[in-house]
């Protein structure tokens, strides 16, 4: 490579590393805001904002979903394995909502520590399989109570 081209290449490498470093610092500074949701443990520890909306993520605890027979109101517990938070929601739930499913709810805590959600999103995991495979997996894991991955 000729000296001129070598110089150009080094200039480009310098440019790239500079831009990369700047982006890295920027993302570090914004890392709190890049998080899409708070976990239930963080809410229990009081890390979640009070008096304004935030998003709460967790797995729906088995057997805690209570539906109001006369309206769309629904109540369930979310967990991350360490702490539980009760969520109340009035509206249509997404297709993937079920017990054991990862959920992200948007809303705020009320005075009793219940999370009043105005939006519930289902988080899909990265596993794709036909129903028969899912059934046989479930059979194999019947004695193990943990049905899904630890994080939503």
Partners of residue 121 on adjacent β-strands: 104
State the sign of the Cα–Cα–Cα–Cα dihedral 116, 119, 120, 122: negative
43 binds other proteins (CB under 8 A): no
CA atoms within 13 A on the CB side of 128: 0
- Taking the least distance from each CB to other proteins, the nearer of 9 and 113 is 9
Site for other proteins in 89-128 (CB under 8 A): 92-97, 104, 119-128
Q: How far is the CB of 50 from other proteins (least distance, A)?
A: 21
50 in Cβ contact with 109 (< 8 Å): yes
**Range in contact with other proteins (rule: CB under 8 A) among 11-19, 45-53, 62-70, 107-115:** 11-19
Q: Which residues contact 146 (CB under 8 A, 6 or more apart)?
A: none
- Taking the least distance from each CB to other proteins, the nearer of 19 and 110 is 19
36 binds other proteins (CB under 8 A): yes
* Count of residues touching other proteins (by CB under 8 A): 43
């Amino acid at each position: 490579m000729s000296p001129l081209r070598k110089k150009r290449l080094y200039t480009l490498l310098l440019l790239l590393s500079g831009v990369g470093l700047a982006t890295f610092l920027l993302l570090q500074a914004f890392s709190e805001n890049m998080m899409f949701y708070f976990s239930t443990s963080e809410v229990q520890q009081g890390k979640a904002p009070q008096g304004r909306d935030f998003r709460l993520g967790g797995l729906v605890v088995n057997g805690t979903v209570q539906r109001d027979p006369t309206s769309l109101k629904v109540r369930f517990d979310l967990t991350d394995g360490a702490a539980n938070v009760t969520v109340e929601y009035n509206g249509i739930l997404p297709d993937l909502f079920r017990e054991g499913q990862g959920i992200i709810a948007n809303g705020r805590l009320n005075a009793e520590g219940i999370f009043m959600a105005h939006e519930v999103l289902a988080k899909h995991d990265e596993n794709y399989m036909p129903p028969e495979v899912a059934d046989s997996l479930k059979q194999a894991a019947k004695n193990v109570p943990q049905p899904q991955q630890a994080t939503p």
